[in-house]
Amino acid sequence: MSQFHLYKNADKATQRTYPFLLDIQSNLLSELRTTVVIPLMPNRLAGNHTISRLNPVIQFKNEKFIVMTQALAGIDRSVLGETAGDLSPHRSEVIAAIDFVLLGI
């Protein structure tokens, strides 16, 4: 498991709204059973209810997704689905959104 890797959401109850989970936890903590993720929502479902600094838009597989930073959560690694991709090129946008939700900066 690597930081900024994207995983398919294996939870049938939430996977329509949040098809992907972005692992944001440091690789230094990869031995922990849990990890911190941010769900991604398809842009078509988000409407105008986003804050640009809090919810960066990321293009993945020809579709736009909203990073729902305010919904970050700790989950058991065993519930992560298949690896879907690497979003490390968007690291600075994601870190800025995390700073905004936690520190207001």
Q: In the chain, how many domains are there? A: 1
Structure confidence at residue 2 as a pLDDT band (50, 70, 90)? confident
What integer is the mean pLDDT of 42-60? 89
The alpha-helical segments, DSSP class H, found in the chain are 43-46, 91-103
Asked if residues 88 and 24 have their Cβ atoms less than 8 Å apart, the reply is no
* pLDDT for residue 1 is more than 80: no
pTM for the whole structure:
0.92
> pLDDT for 75-100, tens place per residue?
999 988 889 999 999 999 999 999 99
Strand spans (E) along the chain = 5-9, 20-23, 34-42, 57-60, 63-67, 73-76, 80-86
What integer is the mean pLDDT of 35-61? 91
Which domain, by its residues, includes 92? 5-103
Q: Is residue 43 classed as helix, strand or coil in its secondary structure?
A: helix
Q: Residue 73 maps to which CATH number?
A: 2.30.30.110
Residue 54 token pair: 């809090």
